[in-house]
Amino acid sequence: MKIVDARVIVSSPGRNYVTLVIEAEDGVIGLGDATLNGRELAVASYLRDHVCPLLVGRDARRIEDTWQYLYRGAYWRRGPVTMTAIAAVDVALWDIKGKIAGLPVYELLGGAARDGVMVYCHASGSTLDDLSADFQGRMDQGYLAIRAQAAIPGLMKTYGIAPTDGQIYEPASGNVPQQDTWETSTYLDFAPQVMAHLRREFGYVVHLLHDVHHRLTPIEAARLGGALEPYRMFWIEDPTPAEDQSAFRLIRQHTTTPIAVGEVFNSIWDCQQLITERLIDYIRTSVSHTGGITHLRRVFALADLYGVRSGSHGAGDLSPIAMAAALHVDLSIPNFGIQEYMGHRDPAGELFSSSYAFRDGYMHPGNQPGLGVSFDEEAAAKFPYEPKYLPVNRRRDGSMHDW
């Protein structure tokens, strides 16, 4: 079954999504998510200019060979742009394979290893009272695990806090990223107070998570982990910039708070040391930024050998196609841990429809052949690309701080 067309659609129904549509003979369509938040057009060009022309005429059934062809065949390997592009092709080909077989993708991956996939959502607030209200609302919706972030007193703006008008917290529109201020000492004093507050108000019935967004040094992360131990966190996420993998040895020596890392990783090599030295508890690599279903399964298989569980990134910048693909993988692997789920806001629903569903804290990808997602190209044309960026961080002295 030959690929007859491969096209890239960049749309902005509220936020930017890059969608790869692969068309095989007999009109079978496969969808892949190629969204790289804030760098969308780089992946679109990589696909349009360098990958799509190579796909036409290839056998759509040969997923592994196509993956190897795009990865080994390119002199310049890895990196977020390349691996997001390969991911989109890979996921689209799994979608096609499922449709040809008449089976949901998780059946092709070995079948369901669990009945549902536990997901965590976000709760945030500009004050602790706002956070409590949001947290309560999430518990009422049935979530069993909640990531909590609160605005740090004294800082102009804290990333990850949704405005109270119900809007999302990013991305800002415009040609230049918004600038936030960061002050580690204030954060380190405040974060344990936030978790103490939530445990006091809501007890220990739901799992509590927190994202540090790569802001700390290893010894600061060790201090945070220690300070949070009484609140029995499910995890702290991205405590330090993780390209320095050996730094996690130091964090590990000081705390039993579980650690999750990996949403910005693109390949198994980025997390090899973290996994094989058991320096983390959850690996957060995602289907759309880590080379697709084919490569993500390899990462999770390595993690399984070392007792590390999956905890894939699933923020709103990953389109419903990526979300569906993640759920098929999550359902089928032995070492699933948890899946992030932020959901998608209208008008995204005018473009994407999906068969996955949430109930009582768990999600299921549905049983439609393939991924179970459809994409309306005509509707997408109504929402052209808009430049949107994540904010940047400077310290009070004006120097740039880590993301």
Q: Binding Mg ion by CB under 5 A: which of 95, 134, 170, 211?
A: 211
330 binds, among ligand GCO, Mg ion, none (CB under 5 to 8 A by kind): none
Q: How many other CB atoms are there within 10 angstroms of residue 378's CB atom? A: 8
In the complex, least distance from residue 264 CB atom to Mg ion, rounded to whole angstroms: 9
Q: How many other CB atoms are there within 10 angstroms of residue 345's CB atom? A: 14
In the complex, least distance from residue 160 CB atom to ligand GCO, rounded to whole angstroms: 6
97 binds, among Mg ion, ligand GCO, none (CB under 5 to 8 A by kind): none
With binding defined as CB under 6 A, does residue 211 bind ligand GCO? yes
Angle value at C-alpha 235, between 231 and 241, nearest 5 degrees: 125
Helix axes 320-332, 292-305, angle to 10 degrees: 40
37 binds, among Mg ion, ligand GCO, none (CB under 5 to 8 A by kind): ligand GCO
Q: Binding ligand GCO by CB under 6 A: which of 33, 90, 281, 340?
A: 340
Cβ closer to ligand GCO: 6 or 261? 261
340 binds, among Mg ion, ligand GCO, none (CB under 5 to 8 A by kind): ligand GCO
Catalytic residues: 159, 213
Cβ closer to Mg ion: 379 or 390? 390
Query: Do residues 277 and 249 lie in contact, with contact meaning Cβ atoms separated by under 8 Å?
Result: yes
Q: Binding ligand GCO by CB under 6 A: which of 117, 152, 315, 321?
A: 315
Query: Do residues 86 and 292 lie in contact, with contact meaning Cβ atoms separated by under 8 Å?
Result: yes
Site string for Mg ion, 164-183 (x = CB under 5 A): --------------------
Query: Do residues 326 and 287 lie in contact, with contact meaning Cβ atoms separated by under 8 Å?
Result: yes
Q: Binding ligand GCO by CB under 6 A: which of 95, 134, 220, 317?
A: 317
Of 100-108, 188-196, 311-319, 345-353, the window that binds ligand GCO (rule: CB under 6 A) is: 311-319
Which residue is closest to Mg ion by CB? 211
Strands (E), 39-171: 117-125, 145-150
CA–centroid distance for 303 within its chain: 17
Half-sphere exposure of 134 (CA within 13 A, CB side): 23
Cβ closer to ligand GCO: 96 or 326? 326
With binding defined as CB under 5 A, does residue 95 bind Mg ion? no
Which residues, in sequence order, are CB contacts of 168 under 8 Å at separation 6+?
A: 14, 15, 162, 316, 345
Residue with tokens 């991305």: 171
In the complex, least distance from residue 317 CB atom to ligand GCO, rounded to whole angstroms: 4
Q: Binding ligand GCO by CB under 6 A: which of 12, 19, 37, 332?
A: 37
Residue with tokens 């905890």: 311
Encode burial over 272-306: b for 16+ CB neighbours within 10 A, e otherwise. ebbbeeebbbbbbbbbbbbbbbbbbbebbebbbee
With binding defined as CB under 6 A, does residue 84 bind ligand GCO? no
Of 54-62, 72-80, 251-259, 310-318, the window that binds ligand GCO (rule: CB under 6 A) is: 310-318
Give the DSSP letter string of 24-61: EGGG-EEEEE---TT-HHHHHHIIIIIIHHHHTTSBTT
Q: Which residues bind ligand GCO (CB under 6 A)?
A: 37, 160, 211, 213, 263, 313, 315, 317, 340, 390
Q: Which residues bind Mg ion (CB under 5 A)?
A: 211
